[in-house]
């Protein structure tokens, strides 16, 4: 009996054979090779205001939206109010905080940073020590009691402070990863009318610290 003659391979069988060889090659590489995943964490700055603001008059409302906190202050009394605002800052990068004030019925005569403290064990140890406050906003409360204050013109954004990365972990609402910064605000209303002042604080990222 004569040996069988191998069947000629057609185009379809050639394609199937090639596909099988490619799959086998990929399987071997997956078992013997390595996979490298690369990504980049986006820089984030989040600011908010604690609810324990100055009680009583004047009326205050805070609107928070990510890296922005808007503070609306209003009243009927012509007496110049002094307001303390406990600001919380969270960031995974260096940050700047700027402020702008809008009002036609009152003047901002003081905006100062009077206290800075870490709020939790996920705050970087450099967050307090390397915080930089813009002058003349970095003044002690005792040094201001007898001053005659003139209006501050911050109708355009003004840098309030800047600092390094704050948060070592957590989220934008974690209780233990924020820097608490107390702002002192002094307002002089125009007499004989209801007044309102709108303060906007905006946080922006500077550079990601690994």
Is residue 12 assigned to a domain? no
Cβ count within 10 A of residue 176? 14
* Boundaries of domain holding 177: 45-208
Element holding 12 (H helix, E strand): helix 11-32
Cβ count within 10 A of residue 78? 13
Question: Number of folded domains in the chain?
Answer: 1
pTM score of the predicted model: 0.74
d(CA 69, CA 72): 10
pLDDT in tens, 110-138: 898 999 999 999 999 999 999 999 876 76
Is residue 4 assigned to a domain? no
Q: What is the pLDDT of residue 41?
A: 64
Element holding 129 (H helix, E strand): helix 126-129
Is residue 155 assigned to a domain? yes
Is residue 29 assigned to a domain? no
Q: How far apart are the first and last CA of the chain?
A: 78
Mean pLDDT of the chain: 79
pLDDT in tens, 27-53: 444 455 555 545 556 899 999 998 766
Which residue is it, tokens 């940073």? 113
Is residue 143 assigned to a domain? yes
Q: Which two tokens stand for residue 169?
A: 């972990």
Which residue is it, tokens 């009002």? 103
Is residue 95 assigned to a domain? yes
Map 16-78 to HEC letters.
Answer: HHHHHHHHHHHHHHHHHCCCCCCCCCCCCEEEEECCCCCCCCCEEEEEEECCEEEEEEEECCC
Q: What is the pLDDT of residue 153?
A: 81
27 CA to centre of own chain: 45
Low-confidence ranges of the chain (pLDDT < 70): 1-41, 52-57, 136, 138-149, 208-210
Is 75 buried (19+), middle (13-18) or exposed (0-12) by CB count in 10 A?
buried
Is residue 32 assigned to a domain? no
């Amino acid at each position: 009996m004569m040996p069988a003659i191998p069947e000629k391979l057609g185009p379809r069988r050639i394609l199937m054979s090639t596909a099988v060889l490619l799959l086998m090659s990929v399987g071997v590489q997956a078992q013997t090779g390595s996979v490298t995943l690369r990504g980049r964490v986006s820089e984030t700055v989040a600011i908010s205001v604690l609810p324990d603001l100055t009680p009583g008059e004047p009326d205050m409302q805070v609107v928070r939206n990510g890296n922005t906190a808007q503070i609306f202050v209003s009243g009927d009394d012509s007496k110049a109010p002094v307001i303390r605002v406990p600001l919380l800052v969270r960031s995974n990068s260096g940050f700047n905080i700027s402020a702008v004030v809008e009002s036609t019925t009152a003047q901002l005569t003081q905006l100062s940073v009077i206290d800075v403290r870490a709020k939790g064990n996920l705050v970087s140890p450099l967050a307090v020590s390397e915080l930089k406050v813009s002058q003349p906003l970095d003044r002690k409360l005792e040094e201001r009691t007898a001053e005659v204050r003139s209006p501050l013109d911050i109708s355009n954004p003004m840098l309030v402070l800047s600092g390094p990365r704050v948060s070592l972990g957590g989220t934008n609402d974690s209780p233990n990863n924020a820097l608490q910064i107390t702002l002192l605000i002094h307002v002089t209303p125009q007499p004989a009318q209801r007044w309102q002042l709108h303060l906007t604080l905006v946080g922006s990222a500077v550079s990601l610290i690994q």
